[in-house]
Every structure is written in structure tokens, then in C-alpha cells.
């Protein structure tokens, strides 16, 4: 749990940094380039499969442990003990389920659509002398594969337009709502999960504990969820 | 007497581990705030016996908070509402007139009910038997002052050694995990020079026995630390994990 | 019966060594053919069981608690003495011996006490090797503190929980042997009788406190390590389960009971708050280092205090009586336990006690707080102050603590010889359960020392001698004596279970406690004792007629457990009174009001009473027979204690 969890945490940083390209006002050029890179660079592909399996292992292991832990108290308390622990530490399963549902929706929205679904296509023409870029939607007939070449001082890039798909999705309030809810869940999941991983690994030293708690709370439970939540909200109110 | 309280108790009654239990409601009239919680139960029992009803069984012995025999989950809290206090040292002034108090045993599969509120915590003994010792026989040991131990280490080991083995950590944990108890013992010896020769073998043996006993796993909710009457810290659990991983993956 | 203490000849300092050499040994290969039964798993029992198992004997250990770690040794706070002389302050084995003999008011055996002092140094080594976390200094070496009755600093301690740490050490050694299969541990098992075959103890009968099953266990030797009997007073600092049954059953099978009237009353306990009180809590006597003991000088003021019309701080300095400082200008508040206790009782009897019940005196820290500042006082006594305010809901930093003496330890117990064997061959008694080392009064930090000395360093030698002599032939567990004893135990249980009167066993216990406390407590006299004897006999008759014992024998049955223990306490109470009546002198914890110096101090009578009073059971309702073991003092001079 701790190892997959921490691996997934590290992914969040990369994912968030990459997704900041969404905020660029360039009709999605940088974001689409980034999306292409992430899906076609072999080492990254390897890592991404590692990531998918981590999600599965993390989930399955969580279910197994929960089942086992439930068995260790066959007769439940009439009055549940709750004093002394934070809410999220006792409800990682609920939070994790929300996150899992979210990941499924999220991946079918974008990852699946990008690979095999109906993502629109776009062509960018950048005048290398003036640096101005114009873009236009192209039809599937005009698109064979991702290309990037220079022709007569103009850089031409033809790409799948994931940016547009994102912008479209995030104009629907219920998708935005789901994303924001999921990010709240992520925040609660990580406020416990991040430091918990260190505790399980035995990396709980009185000297470093405050640092771990600081990173866990401010980076993983505040900055990262807010950063992610800002994206759907940005497109909704754009 | 003025200031005395009338209380309602909902007490778990169970004849033995093999029969199902249920809550039974009792009145506890005229309870002095100066009574300890167990003295309040004594009074209730005395009334029951007078009526030829079976008294409520609960574990207790020293009644000064050190033997670790008393238990009880009182309104959802092991050893009741006062922090760093065992049930025997909890006084009735922590309650108000007309309160209803729900009293349950420490619940865990590894702590089967003996009767009513008394549970069998022998799993803790078996974990200790698996390796909670330094293998020295009587006699033939060096002079006590030949082993110099830095005060900070000695104090830290002491903090772990204050565990009274009551099982409140298991009772408080949503997973009925025994990690706080086991880690306190492993820590004491892992810190002290006397514990070094068997350090990793001990950690492995005790953790394995803990798993055999059927305790749940730790999900770091830290309820154990909050409810521990001796304020044992969860840093012990981290240390135990470290010792165990080292035993498994580093030392043969 | 001629009592033979079997004290070895020769100079005091060489007795134990010579004796060890003269004891027979058991061949290592033969040791596993012997079964040894150990009853009780406190300091004495756990250390004995572990040490004997290490030697190779098969050990069966029993405790009534749910785990051997719960034995009441765990509650000892202060520390453990050892003549290590780590302080370079003039300590030695001889000095520890001398202080202990003198502290016991010259009513203990020289040879036993010397051996205790001698092995004390090994105990500390042993415990440290086990990982017991004693207090240390910054240099990494062991720290010491001072304790009452000594002018050297020889007490090793582990914060305020030395007993717990030492017991957990012995428990860990026991656990190691259980893991190795050399000790078989029986928890929640209460010993109800000793099986004596042809005059030798060869087994015990126990009741499984969960299933109710009565079983007999055979062994070549039986060790009783079952603690003291302070609960005969109902209210004491002992654990609720502490009882005399094992020792008393042994007594009825022929083991003599020695000096049962020697009881230690500890002066600094939290007073009784009402009839519901189930036990008393002790606070370390170290509090008397900085606290001043006082009561109002007049009864009228005390009366106003009790009614709550005035508060302690309203009372002017001139209207206070710092009675210990007044009567004992040189020792002041630091007089020994028995003296402090008796004086507290005296002022309360005089109508000057404080608190709602009038049975308490003040222990005031106001001056210390003024002199040292509250933080310094808190650093020294913070945990005790917290405990006090938890129990009483009063803040001792603002108003003085209320304290009152409480029964704490019993110096008397089963008579044993130098080998710790009782008058029944094969039956041994260790720790507080025996009478051997503390005389008429025990010094602080000596109980832990004795328990561990007996278990770790005495019994492993002495029991071997007996075993070697009787040989390793298996004990016949089917001998008629086993069947008969078991049947008697079962019959007794049935008798208890047939009691369906109208008075609870706890009520009898409280009544017994009141009689004992009133007439055989801090101060005794012949008239009161005679009266108490009659009261106890009446109580006993009433108990067997009107007690209520519910349930049956096939389950957990606390009513039955309590009934058995209280019935034995009632019988013991009568014997304590006989013993107190017989001892026409005052010594240590035994204060006979008729025998005091003009200043009101204990007046010994060495000419007539320098003996151990060992009582032999002669049958139901027959007076016990007194046997005297004369105490011979070759090394110390008997003097009058004075603390003026």
C-alpha cells in the first residue's frame, strides 16, 4: 500500500505540472504536444503501465486488507470508538472508492477517447519569423498521424486535439462537479495517506516527521488537489 | 447524599465465549462522584447479588492503574473519557446526573469474551513468549555498570517499557490491530544494548506471532496512541516496521 | 514439633557460601525428571519459575490473574535496595544487613538478612542484563536515590514504577522458558489446596477460574510465592485479588504460620472517601521530604474544617500542630513509617483529624512551594500530585493534601527455614508470603529485593538439595491423597455454593476489615484484641449461615472465588489476633498500647519475645499451638530505636 501509494503521489506531481499547459492561451498547442509526448515516448509508456498496475494493486490490496481487518473484530461495538483519530484515516476506503470511480471516468473520458475514441484533430501553423500561430480544426481525412515539420519558414503540426476534448467536457457542470468532488476526496485521502506511507515504511523520525507532515498537508492535500480542481473550474467559467 | 448521581447503565452480558451476548440495562442510583468507575460497578453488583442476580463480571486487580488488568469500553472509549487514565482510575465525577453509560468489553476476535466484560488477552502473552525477552539465564551476567547506556536511549526505552499490556490499543483500533503493544516491546529491546544480539530475530518472531493471533493490520489511524492509558507513542510502530523490514530484507 | 531453622554454622559472612557448597546437587541429566510446581508469578514466583526451568527442571506455574505479568509486585513504586556502593558513600553488604535488621526492630534472623544483603548486588546485575530500564545518569551509569531507614544512597529505581519494570523483567525470563517448553503456565487458576503424601508436599489442587474445573497437579516440590495477606483488613494498598488462600490452605495442611500480627501500615495513603471504597492508594513516602504534616491544634477548629466552614489556609500558623516536627525535632516529618502512622492515628483519635470523615491529616507543600517555587516541586512530585488530584479532585498545589495510613505489607507469613522450606517437607515459601527477612517492620525498597533474592538466587540452590535427597522417581498422581484432597476441595466448593443467605461476601469482608483495623491495626491492646477475637468468631459463624454465594461451579463465578478467599481471611484474622495477644511487647509494626516508653514509643521486650512465633493448626475450632524459634543475635547489638 505504502509503496504504490507513494508512487501514485509522485505521479500526481508530474501529472499536475504537465496539465498546467492547459492554462496556456495557445489553443492547446503546448498541451497537445505534451499529450503526444506522454503517450508515445517509450520510457514514459513503460512507467504509465507501471502506474496503471499500481492503481490496481493499491485497490486490490486495500480490499484484501479491509476484509481481513473486518474479520479481526467479529462483534462490532454498539458505540463506535472514534476519539483520537482523524476522520479520513478511518474512511480511506470510502475516499479510495470515490477516487477509483473518478479514475475510471477520467480515463474513459480522455485516455480512452484519445487513444481509440473520437478526439477532434487540429493543425497549428507557426510563422517562425513572426512567431504567430494560427490553428484550425481538420477532419479525420486530413489527419493520418501526428506530424511536425517546417515548410517555408512555417512550422506545421497536426495533432489530435485533446485540449478541445478537455475544454468541451469541462463546460458541463456535472463533470466539473464530479472532478471537484474527486479532488476533495483526494485531499482527504492524502492528508492521511502520505504521512501514513512513511509511518508504515518505518520512516518516522522525530526530526523529519514535521517535514513529512508539512509536505503531506500543504503539497499533497492542499496545493495538488486545488491545482487539479482549478482546471475544470477554469474551463467552466472561461 | 447531595451531589450523588442517578445513572443508567447499558451493560454487555455474555455467559461465555460460546454463547451470544446482549445489552442489559441497570439502574445505578445514588452514585457518589468520588467513586471510581469500578467501585460504581461494585455497588451495582452488590445490589444484584442481594437480588440473587448474577453479578457483572469485569477484569480488575490493582486498581491503581498499573497492573493492566482492567479494561472496558465506556461510551465508545477504551478506559473511558479521560485521557491517559485506566478505567480503575476513572472517577464518577467525569459523568453527570442522569447519564446513560454504555459499557462493552474490549472487542476483538483475538480477545474472546470470557464472561460479560472480561476478555481473554492471552494472545498478548503468546506474542511476548515468541521473543519478548533477552536470552540471559540467571547468574553469570556482567556487573550492572559495565553496560553504560546513554540517558536519552535509556529514557526512550523506558517510555516504551511503560506499556501495561491492557489491550486498549487493540480495543481502540478500527482494525483491532495490536501493533502499538507489540511495537512498544520490540522498541524497548531494539533501543537497549542488551537487546541487540537477538534484535531482528525477535522482531520477526513477535510480528509473526501477532499475525498468527489474528489481529488486524495497522492503517495508521493512531487511535491507539490517543487511547493508550500510558501514552505509548506510534513512533514505536514505525520503529517496529523498520525492524521487521530489516529483519526480512536485510538481515538473514 | 521442634523448629529447626537450619542456619549454617560459621561466621555470618561465610554462612551462605559454605551452605551452598554443602547442598547436594542434582545431576544435569536427572533434572528433567523432576517436576516443580510454582504458585504465583510475582517477583518471587516468576523469577523462581524461570531460574528453575533454566536449570532443567520441569516447571508448572500458576497464577489467578489473566497473565503472569499482572501480579501485584507490579504496583511497587519506589525502588530496590542493593549494596553496590556505586555512590562511594560507605555502603556495604554489612551495612545493608545492619540497616535491615535494625529497621525490622530486631525480630528477623541474622543469617537470612545477611544473605539477602549479599545477593542484592546480583539482583541488579541480573535485571540490567534482562533489559530492565533502571534510571540512569548522563554518563550512562545507574542512578540511585535515598530511602527511609538508611543513611546511604543504595536504592535503584525506574521512575515511579520499579515494581512493574522488575516484574516485566522476571516475566520476560519466564516467557522465554514457556517458549522453550520448560515451563507450563496456567493462568486464571487458583490454588485451593496442597496435596501432602506421607508427610511431603507432592502436589496441589487448583480451580480453573474460567471453567470451574477442579484439577490436581503433581510435583516433586511445591513453591508458594503467593504474596501477602494485607487484604484481611479489606481496605489496603494490595490488589483486589491478593489473598491468603494458598498460604492458609498450606497452613491447614501443616505449614506453620509465623508472626502473622506483623503488619506494615504506610503513612502516606489517600484517605477513604466513603463506604464504597474498595482499596487504598499509596503515594510514595518521598513526599515527606518536602511536605509538612499537621492538623489543627484544637478540636473546635478541626470540627469547623470538617463541616466546611473554614479552609486549611484560613488557619493561622499558631493554630496549627505540626505534630511530627513537635514530637521528633531531629527526624521531624521523616520518622519511620510505623511512627508516622501511629501519630496520625493518635491526632485523629483526639478529634483533630481533617477532611469530611475526620480520618486524615494534612501534608502541606505550601512552604516548599514558597521556598523552591512551584515548578521545582512539580518536577519532583508532579506525577504524585496528578494522581492525588485525579482521585480526590483537589489541587495539592493550592490546598494541602490529605493523607492517612493504610495497610501496605505483611511481614508475617509461612514459617520457613534457611532453605525457604516450610515445616512441610517439599513445600517452600518465597517472597512476601513467607516471614523470613523483615522482622517486625520492613524498610522501603526491601520488598522487591527479597522477592527476587528468593526466586533468582536462593531457591535454585536450596530446592536442589531436597530434590537430590528424595530422588527423581515420578510422583504418583493417582495416590489416594490426590483423590482425597481433590474431593475435599470439591466438597468445600459445594458447601459455599449452598450458602444462600442474605448478606454478601463483600459485606462480611468489610466487617472483618473493620474489626481488624479497629482492634488489630496501628495500635492494639489486650482488651480490644480479646473483644475482636469474639467478634471474629461470631462473624465466622454468621458467614457460614447467612452468606450469599450465587451461581454454580461450571463457569466464571466471582461470588464463589470471593467466598473462598474471605472465609480464609476470617480464619487468618483470628490467628493474627492470637499472635498479637501473645506478643506482650511493642516492636516495629506491632504496637501494643500497654507497652510503650514514657514518650509513647514502641517498647520491646527482648528478654521474653526475641523469638519467631510460629503457629500450628490443630483442627477446626481448636486453639493453634505456638512454637517458638529463638532469635540469636551474634553480630548486632539490640538497641532501642529513637528518632527524637
Look at B219 and A85 and tell me if their CB atoms are within 8 Å: no
B23, B223, B235 ranked by CB distance to A204: nearest: B235
B-contacting residues in C 207-236 (Cβ below 8 Å): 210
Residue entry with cell 537450619? C6
CB spacing of C54 vs B34 below 8 angstroms? no
- Other residues' Cβ atoms within 10 Å of the Cβ of residue A98: 18
Question: Residue C493: its pLDDT value, please?
Answer: 98
- Give the whole-angstrom CA distance, residue C264 versus residue C447: 12
Residues C393-424 pLDDT 10s: 999 999 999 999 999 999 999 999 999 999 99
Burial class (CB in 10 A: 0-12, 13-18, 19+), B182: buried
Q: What is the pTM of this model?
A: 0.96
pLDDT of residue B2: 63
Residues 57 to 116 of C: which have CB under 8 A from any B CB?
Answer: 65-72, 74-75, 84, 86
Share of chain A above pLDDT 70, in %: 99
| A145–chain B nearest CA distance, Å | 48
Interface test with C, best of B53, B61, B85, B110 (most C CBs within 10 A): B61
pLDDT value of position C578 = 98
User: Could you tell me if C232 and C569 are in contact, meaning their C-beta atoms sit under 8 angstroms apart?
Assistant: yes
C28 and B CB contact within 8 Å: no
B77 contact residues in A (CB cutoff 8 A):
81, 83
The H or E element spanning position A189 is helix A173-201
Choosing from C70, C95, C337, C592, which is the catalytic residue? C337
Start-to-end CA distance of chain B, whole Å, equals 67
Q: Is ipTM beyond 0.95?
A: yes
pLDDT of B1 > 70? The answer is no
Q: Which residues of A touch B238 (CB under 8 A)?
A: 198-205
- Phi, psi angle pair for C239, to nearest 5°: -70, 160
Domain ranges of chain A: 2-120+161-237, 121-160
pLDDT exceeds cutoff 90 at C640? no
Angle, helices B235-245 vs B179-191, to 10°: value is 70
Q: Write the DSSP string, C81-128.
A: E----TT-SS--HHHHHHHHHHHTTT-S-HHHHHHHHHHHHHHHHHHH
- For residue B178, what pLDDT is reported? 98
Residue C38 has pLDDT above 80, yes or no: yes
C-alpha cell at C549: 454465594
Q: Could you tell me where the beta strands, DSSP code E, fall in C549-624?
A: 611-616
Q: Which residue has the cell 442476580?
A: B53
Tell me the CA distances in angstroms from A163 to A30, A31, A126, A227, B25, one per residue in order. 9, 7, 18, 17, 65
CATH architecture of B5-115: Roll (3.10)
pLDDT band for position C338 (50/70/90)? Answer: confident
Task: Name the closest residue on chain B to residue A75, using Cα atoms.
Answer: B107
Nearest chain A residue to B226 by CA distance is A84
* Residue in the block written with cell 509494626: C589
The answer to whether residue C337 is catalytic is yes
pLDDT digits (tens, 9 = 90+) for C218-266: 999 999 999 999 999 999 999 999 999 999 999 999 999 999 999 999 9
Lowest mean pLDDT among B32-41, B86-95, C78-87, C278-287: C278-287
CATH class held by domain B122-250: mainly alpha
Q: Tens digit of pLDDT for each residue in A35-81? A: 999 999 999 999 999 999 999 999 999 999 999 999 999 999 999 87
- Report CB contact under 8 Å: A202, B109: no
pLDDT for B189 beyond 70? yes
Q: What chains are in contact with A, requiring at least 3 Cβ pairs below 8 Å?
A: B
Domain ranges of chain B: 5-115, 122-250
Averaged pLDDT score across all residues of chain B: 96
Average pLDDT, chain C: 95
| Helices and strands, number each (H, E), in chain A | 10, 4
For chain C positions 560-599, those within 8 Å of chain B (CB to CB) are none
- How does pLDDT run across C602-614, given as a tens digit for each residue? 899 999 999 999 9
Residues 454-493 of C with CB under 8 A from B: 456-457, 460
C430: left (phi over 0), alpha (psi -120 to 50) or beta: beta
Nearest to B223 among A69, A81, A200 (CB): A81
Q: A71 vs B219: CB contact, 8 Å cut-off?
A: no
Q: Which domains does chain C have, with CATH numbers?
A: 266-407 (3.90.700.10), 481-609 (1.20.58.100)
**What's the pLDDT at C512?**
98
Confidence of residue C335 (pLDDT cuts 50, 70, 90): confident
Taking the CA of residue C178 and the nearest CA in chain B, the distance in Å comes to 7
DSSP state of C270: P
> In chain B, which residue's Cα lies nearest the Cα of C169?
B133
Quickly list DSSP for B139-178. S-PPPGGGS---HHHHHHHHHHHT-----HHHHHSTT-B-
Cα nearest neighbour of A203 on chain B = B238
Amino acid at each position: 500500500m505504502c509503496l504504490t501509494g507513494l508512487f501514485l503521489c509522485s505521479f500526481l506531481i508530474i501529472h499536475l505540472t504537465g496539465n498546467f499547459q492547459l492554462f496556456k492561451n495557445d489553443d492547446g498547442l503546448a498541451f497537445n504536444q505534451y499529450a503526444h509526448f506522454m503517450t508515445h515516448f517509450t520510457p514514459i509508456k513503460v512507467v504509465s503501465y507501471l502506474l496503471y498496475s499500481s492503481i490496481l494493486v493499491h485497490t486490490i490490496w486495500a480490499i484484501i486488507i479491509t476484509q481481513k481487518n473486518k474479520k479481526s473484530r467479529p462483534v462490532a461495538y454498539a458505540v463506535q470508538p472514534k476519539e483520537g483519530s482523524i476522520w479520513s484515516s478511518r474512511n480511506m476506503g470510502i475516499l479510495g472508492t470515490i477516487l477509483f470511480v473518478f479514475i475510471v471516468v477520467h480515463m474513459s473520458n480522455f485516455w480512452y477517447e484519445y487513444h481509440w475514441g473520437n478526439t477532434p484533430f487540429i493543425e497549428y501553423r507557426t510563422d517562425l519569423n513572426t512567431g504567430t500561430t494560427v490553428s484550425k480544426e481538420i477532419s479525420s481525412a486530413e489527419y493520418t498521424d501526428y506530424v511536425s515539420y517546417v515548410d517555408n519558414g512555417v512550422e506545421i503540426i497536426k495533432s489530435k486535439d485533446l485540449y478541445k476534448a478537455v475544454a468541451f467536457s469541462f463546460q458541463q457542470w456535472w463533470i466539473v462537479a464530479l472532478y471537484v468532488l474527486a479532488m476533495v476526496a483526494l485531499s482527504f485521502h492524502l492528508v492521511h495517506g502520505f504521512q501514513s506511507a512513511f509511518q508504515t515504511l518505518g520512516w518516522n523520525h522525530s526530526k523529519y516527521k514535521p517535514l513529512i507532515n508539512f509536505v503531506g498537508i500543504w503539497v499533497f492535500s492542499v496545493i495538488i488537489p486545488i491545482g487539479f480542481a482549478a482546471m475544470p473550474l477554469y474551463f467552466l467559467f472561461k | 447524599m447531595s451531589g450523588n448521581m442517578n445513572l443508567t447503565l447499558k451493560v454487555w452480558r455474555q455467559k461465555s465465549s460460546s454463547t451470544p451476548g446482549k445489552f442489559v440495562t441497570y439502574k445505578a442510583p445514588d452514585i457518589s462522584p468520588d467513586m471510581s468507575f469500578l467501585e460504581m460497578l461494585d455497588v451495582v453488583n452488590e445490589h444484584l447479588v442481594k437480588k440473587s442476580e448474577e453479578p457483572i463480571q469485569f477484569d480488575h486487580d490493582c486498581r491503581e492503574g498499573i497492573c493492566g488488568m482492567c479494561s472496558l469500553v465506556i461510551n465508545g472509549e477504551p478506559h473511558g473519557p479521560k485521557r491517559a487514565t485506566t478505567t480503575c482510575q476513572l472517577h464518577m465525577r467525569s459523568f453527570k446526573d442522569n447519564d446513560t453509560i454504555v459499557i462493552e468489553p474490549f472487542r476483538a476476535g483475538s480477545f474472546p469474551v470470557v464472561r460479560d466484560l472480561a476478555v481473554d488477552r492471552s494472545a498478548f502473552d503468546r506474542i511476548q513468549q515468541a521473543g519478548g525477552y533477552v536470552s540471559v539465564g540467571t547468574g553469570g551476567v556482567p556487573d550492572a555498570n559495565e553496560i553504560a547506556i546513554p540517558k536519552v536511549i535509556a529514557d526512550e526505552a523506558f517510555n516504551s517499557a511503560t506499556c501495561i499490556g491492557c489491550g486498549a490499543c487493540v480495543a481502540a483500533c478500527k482494525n483491532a490491530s495490536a501493533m502499538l503493544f507489540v511495537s512498544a516491546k520490540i522498541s524497548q529491546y531494539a533501543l537497549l544494548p542488551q537487546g541487540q544480539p537477538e534484535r531482528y530475530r525477535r522482531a520477526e518472531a513477535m510480528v509473526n506471532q501477532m499475525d498468527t493471533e489474528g489481529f488486524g493490520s495497522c492503517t495508521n489511524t493512531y487511535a491507539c496512541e490517543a487511547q493508550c492509558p500510558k501514552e505509548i507513542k506510534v513512533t514505536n510502530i514505525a520503529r517496529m516496521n523498520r525492524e521487521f523490514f530489516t529483519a526480512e530484507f536485510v538481515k538473514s | 514439633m521442634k523448629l529447626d531453622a537450619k542456619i549454617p554454622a560459621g561466621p555470618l559472612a561465610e554462612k551462605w557460601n559454605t551452605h551452598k557448597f554443602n547442598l547436594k546437587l542434582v545431576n544435569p541429566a536427572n533434572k528433567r525428571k523432576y517436576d516443580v510446581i510454582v504458585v504465583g508469578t510475582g517477583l518471587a514466583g516468576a523469577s523462581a519459575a524461570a531460574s528453575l526451568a533454566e536449570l532443567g527442571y520441569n516447571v508448572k506455574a500458576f497464577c489467578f490473574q489473566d497473565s503472569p505479568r499482572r501480579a501485584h509486585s507490579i504496583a511497587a513504586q519506589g525502588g530496590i535496595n542493593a549494596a553496590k556502593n556505586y555512590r562511594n558513600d560507605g555502603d556495604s553488604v554489612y551495612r545493608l544487613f545492619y540497616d535491615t535488621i535494625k529497621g525490622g526492630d530486631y525480630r528477623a534472623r541474622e543469617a537470612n538478612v545477611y544473605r539477602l544483603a549479599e545477593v542484592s548486588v546480583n539482583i541488579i546485575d541480573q535485571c540490567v542484563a534482562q533489559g530492565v530500564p533502571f534510571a540512569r545518569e548522563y554518563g550512562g551509569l545507574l542512578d540511585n536515590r535515598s530511602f527511609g531507614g538508611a543513611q546511604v544512597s543504595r536504592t535503584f529505581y525506574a521512575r515511579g514504577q520499579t515494581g512493574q519494570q522488575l516484574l516485566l523483567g522476571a516475566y520476560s525470563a519466564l516467557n522465554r522458558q514457556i517458549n522453550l517448553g520448560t515451563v507450563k503456565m496456567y493462568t486464571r487458576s487458583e490454588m485451593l489446596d496442597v496435596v501432602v503424601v506421607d508427610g511431603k508436599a507432592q502436589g496441589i489442587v487448583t480451580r480453573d477460574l474460567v471453567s470451574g474445573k477442579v484439577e490436581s497437579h503433581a510435583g516433586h516440590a511445591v513453591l508458594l510465592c503467593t504474596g501477602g495477606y494485607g487484604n484481611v483488613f479489606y481496605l489496603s494498598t494490595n490488589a483486589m485479588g491478593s489473598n491468603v488462600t494458598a498460604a492458609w490452605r498450606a497452613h491447614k495442611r501443616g505449614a506453620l504460620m509465623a508472626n502473622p500480627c506483623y503488619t506494615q501500615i504506610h503513612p502516606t495513603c489517600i484517605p477513604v472517601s466513603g463506604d464504597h471504597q474498595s482499596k487504598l492508594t499509596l503515594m510514595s513516602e518521598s513526599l515527606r521530604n518536602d511536605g509538612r504534616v499537621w492538623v489543627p491544634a484544637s478540636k473546635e477548629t478541626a470540627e469547623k474544617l470538617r463541616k466546611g466552614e473554614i479552609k486549611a489556609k484560613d488557619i493561622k500558623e499558631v493554630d496549627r500542630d505540626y505534630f511530627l516536627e513537635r514530637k521528633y525535632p531531629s527526624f521531624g516529618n521523616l520518622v519511620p513509617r510505623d511512627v508516622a502512622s501511629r501519630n496520625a492515628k493518635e491526632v485523629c483519635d483526639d478529634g483533630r483529624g481533617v477532611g469530611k470523615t475526620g480520618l486524615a491529616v494534612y501534608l502541606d507543600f505550601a512552604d516548599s512551594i514558597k521556598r523552591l517555587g512551584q515548578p521545582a516541586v512539580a518536577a519532583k512530585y508532579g506525577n504524585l500530585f496528578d494522581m492525588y488530584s485525579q482521585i480526590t479532585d483537589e489541587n495539592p498545589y493550592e490546598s494541602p493534601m490529605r493523607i492517612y495510613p493504610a495497610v501496605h505489607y505483611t511481614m508475617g507469613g509461612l514459617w520457613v527455614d534457611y532453605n525457604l522450606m516450610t515445616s512441610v517437607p517439599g513445600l517452600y515459601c518465597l517472597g512476601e508470603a513467607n516471614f523470613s527477612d523483615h522482622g517486625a517492620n520492613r524498610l522501603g525498597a526491601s520488598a522487591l529485593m527479597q522477592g527476587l533474592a528468593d526466586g533468582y538466587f536462593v531457591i535454585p540452590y536450596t530446592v536442589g538439595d531436597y530434590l537430590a535427597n528424595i530422588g527423581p522417581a515420578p510422583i504418583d498422581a493417582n495416590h489416594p491423597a490426590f483423590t482425597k484432597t481433590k474431593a475435599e476441595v470439591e466438597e468445600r466448593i459445594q458447601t459455599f455454593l449452598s450458602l444462600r443467605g442474605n448478606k454478601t461476601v463483600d459485606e462480611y469482608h468489610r466487617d472483618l476489615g473493620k474489626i481488624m483495623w479497629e482492634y488489630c491495626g496501628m495500635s492494639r491492646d489486650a482488651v480490644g484484641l480479646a473483644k475482636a477475637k469474639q467478634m471474629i468468631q461470631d462473624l465466622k459463624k454468621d458467614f457460614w449461615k447467612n452468606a450469599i454465594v450465587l451461581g454454580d461451579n461450571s463457569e466464571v463465578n466471582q461470588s464463589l472465588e470471593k467466598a473462598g478467599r474471605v472465609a480464609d481471611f476470617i480464619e487468618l484474622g483470628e490467628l493474627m489476633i492470637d499472635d498479637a495477644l501473645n506478643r506482650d511487647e511493642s516492636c516495629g509494626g506491632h504496637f501494643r498500647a500497654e507497652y510503650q516508653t514514657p514518650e509513647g514509643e514502641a517498647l520491646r521486650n527482648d528478654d521474653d519475645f526475641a523469638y519467631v512465633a510460629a503457629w500450628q493448626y490443630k483442627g477446626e475450632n481448636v486453639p493453634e499451638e505456638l512454637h517458638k524459634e529463638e532469635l540469636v543475635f551474634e553480630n548486632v547489638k539490640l538497641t532501642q530505636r529513637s528518632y527524637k
